[in-house]
Amino acid sequence: MDNAIKTINLTKKFKDITAVEDLNVEIKQGEIFGLLGPNGAGKTTTISMLCTILKPTEGSAQVNGYDILKEPEKVRKSIGIVFQQPSVDDILTGLENLRLHAMWYGVPKETRKNRIDEVLELVGLQSRQNSLVKTYSGGMRRRLELARGLLHLPNVLFLDEPTLGLDPQTREHIWKYIEKMSREREMTIVLTTHYMEEADNLCDRVAIIDQGKIVVMDAPDSLKEKVGGDIVYLKTTAADTNKFKEIEEVSKIEKKDDCIILTVKNAGEHLQEILEISGKVERVEVRSASLEDVFINYTGKEIRAETGEGGIVQRIIKERTVR
């Protein structure tokens, strides 16, 4: 089995809104795969369909070789899920949460205790295992969820915005756990995120998704290469933008307010030429391309422009008011 996940024209419509449209993805066993996109892009809807929480309107998918429509229980048994909203039981202790979960997933009695100890150690919650979850911090809850998702040794682990609303330190901890799991267990990990750094740091491959469609899909480095070089910001109003075309390495010229944004291959080597053309500038900034630039490149907008919580609901409301 090479593909852990394969979707075939996977589509989900909510009334007149298409949340996910004709999604065709193949995710290899052991891969860390990221769905990157703004809120409302269809990431959670995609994961929900793969986890058999939502039924697709059209198309289908296979997870671990099981059809999500025909064998939902087998799919559910072979996957682990960490939801965007914590779904651990507040009024139970961490240990109790894990014990119940083990029974629901049919983890054999003999191995149960060992498994629980193992995952508790992995996320560093042994010392707090007997405290009620309502006394946990946000990061601890997320770690407990992660432990729970791993308890039954799933082949595929789904993480829906695993570090949403966490402080940078906790985020890095969680990234480490995710990498460790993928490395040690050859577990396939599918995560959604709207944090560029997260996708960049963690994922073997990233699919940029916008308005329910995959815009582009590749390894983060290849994606960044596709931008065509480094980004150079020039704060100036004087320069004639057309003149930059004389430099062969400049692949894209954009004017925004009082800034000129150039995409330049090996910008560091051509800075002299650029500055000669531009004349006097107030400020220069050179940086290598990020996934943010990839996103802008392919969708023509910034990912951060769409903030606000919630996804599809917001889009429905928005589209309604437009009418």
Partner 1 sequence: MSQAEAIYALWLREFKVFTREKSRIVSSIFTPMLWIFVFGGGLGSAINIGNVNYQIFIYPGILVMSVLFSSVFFGVYVIWDRKIDILKAILVAPLSRTTIFVGKVLGGCTDSMIQALIMLLVSFILGIYLTVSSFLLAITILFLLALSLVSTGLIIGSLMESPEGFNMIISFLIFPLFFFSGALFPIDNLPIWLSFITYINPVTYGVDALRMAIIGVSQFPLYVDLIVLTGFAVVMFTIGTRTFERMK
Residues that bind partner 1 (CB under 8 A): 51-54, 73-74, 76-77, 81, 83, 85-92, 96, 99-101, 103-106
Compare residues 53 and 286 and give the one whose CB is closer to partner 1: 53
**Smallest separation, CB 96 to partner 1 (Å):** 7
SS (H, E, C) 210-262: ECCEEEEEECHHHHHHHCCCEEEEEECCCCCHHHHHHCCCEEEEEEECCEEEE
In the structure encoding, which two tokens stand for residue 229, read together?
Answer: 């070089």
**Smallest separation, CB 99 to partner 1 (Å):** 8
**Smallest separation, CB 15 to partner 1 (Å):** 15
Compare residues 28 and 99 and give the one whose CB is closer to partner 1: 99
Compare residues 78 and 278 and give the one whose CB is closer to partner 1: 78
Compare residues 112 and 265 and give the one whose CB is closer to partner 1: 112
**Smallest separation, CB 103 to partner 1 (Å):** 4
Q: At what angle do helices 109-122 and 94-104 cross, to 10 degrees?
A: 130
Return the residue matching tokens 């150690």: 121
**Smallest separation, CB 84 to partner 1 (Å):** 9
- One-letter amino acid of 156: V
Compare residues 87 and 251 and give the one whose CB is closer to partner 1: 87
**Smallest separation, CB 57 to partner 1 (Å):** 14
- Listing DSSP states for 282-295 in one string gives SEEEEE---HHHHH
Angle at the Cα of 63 (from 206 to 195), degrees rounded to 5?
A: 25
Sequence-separated (6 or more) residues with CB below 8 Å from residue 118: none
Compare residues 105 and 298 and give the one whose CB is closer to partner 1: 105
- What does the alpha-carbon distance between residue 107 and residue 302 come to, in Å, rounded to a whole number? 45
- What does the alpha-carbon distance between residue 35 and residue 285 come to, in Å, rounded to a whole number? 29
**Smallest separation, CB 313 to partner 1 (Å):** 13
Compare residues 13 and 74 and give the one whose CB is closer to partner 1: 74
- What does the alpha-carbon distance between residue 33 and residue 206 come to, in Å, rounded to a whole number? 6
**Smallest separation, CB 81 to partner 1 (Å):** 6
Compare residues 30 and 86 and give the one whose CB is closer to partner 1: 86
First to last CA, the chain: 47
Compare residues 47 and 208 and give the one whose CB is closer to partner 1: 47
**Smallest separation, CB 121 to partner 1 (Å):** 22
In the structure encoding, which two tokens stand for residue 163, read together?
Answer: 């570090």
The Cβ of residue 321 has, within 10 Å, a number of other Cβ atoms equal to: 7
Angle at the Cα of 218 (from 215 to 224), degrees rounded to 5?
A: 90
- Helical segments of the chain, H only: 43-50, 72-77, 94-104, 109-122, 138-150, 168-185, 196-202, 220-226, 267-278, 291-299, 312-322
